[in-house]
């Protein structure tokens, strides 16, 4: 038995942030780049909690902004690991915007990011195996494996 293996639940993380004027344009819409930064932070935290070492972002899949997010919204960034390779990990980050006055929530983004665990020399270092427990986690892991294969293929084609 692999005693270093960890479940998806062990590294799952949620960040909750209130969007202020510093996050938005003159119309009160939160900048896409601000959302991307917090998505990256949430995804990296899940990866760090799994690996318990520093990680760097190596790939970010395309991100679609389904609904606007406005100043005053409380934004939740729910991140969990969907895949762990030898040194790389994929995080799934879901973004939910909540109007704290009404409680209305909107699903605004879904993003997949890949991180690599690094050692003191900034070189890739092995991570624990990931255990998918629920049916949903197992399905997400199967899709993540396919996405990672496609990224590797794309990378080879670009060289």
Residues forming the site for ligand COA (CB under 6 A): 56-59, 85-88, 114, 116, 118, 124, 151-152, 155
In b/e form, how buried is each residue of 23-59, taking b as 16+ CB within 10 angstroms? bbeeeeebeeebbbebbbbbbbbbbbbbbeebbeeeb
CA distance 52 to 40: 17
Shortest Å, Cβ 6 to ligand COA:
15
To ligand COA, the closest distance from the beta carbon of 126 in angstroms equals 8
Measured from the CB atom, the residue of 107 and 152 that comes closer to ligand COA is 152
Residue nearest to ligand COA (CB): 85
Identify the three-state secondary structure at position 84.
Answer: strand
Closer residue to ligand COA (CB): 72 or 126: 126
Nearest residue (CB) to ligand COA, 88 versus 108: 88
Residue 41, SS3? helix
CB of 148 to ligand COA, least distance (A): 6
CA dist., res. 21 & res. 26, Å (int): 8
């Amino acid at each position: 038995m692999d005693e270093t293996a960890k479940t998806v639940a062990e590294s799952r993380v949620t960040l909750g942030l209130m969007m202020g004027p510093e996050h938005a344009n003159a119309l009160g819409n939160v900048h896409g780049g601000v959302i991307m930064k917090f998505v990256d932070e949430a995804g990296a935290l899940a990866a760090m909690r799994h690996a318990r070492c520093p990680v760097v972002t190596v790939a970010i899949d395309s991100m679609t902004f389904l609904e606007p997010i406005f100043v005053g919204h409380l934004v939740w960034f729910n991140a969990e690991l969907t895949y762990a390779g030898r040194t790389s990990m994929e995080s799934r980050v879901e973004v939910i915007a909540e109007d704290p006055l009404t409680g209305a929530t909107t699903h605004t983004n879904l993003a997949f990011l890949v991180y690599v665990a690094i050692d003191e020399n900034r070189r890739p270092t092995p991570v624990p195996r990931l255990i998918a427990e629920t049916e949903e986690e197992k399905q997400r892991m199967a899709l993540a494996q396919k996405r990672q294969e496609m990224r590797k293929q794309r990378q080879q084609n670009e060289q």
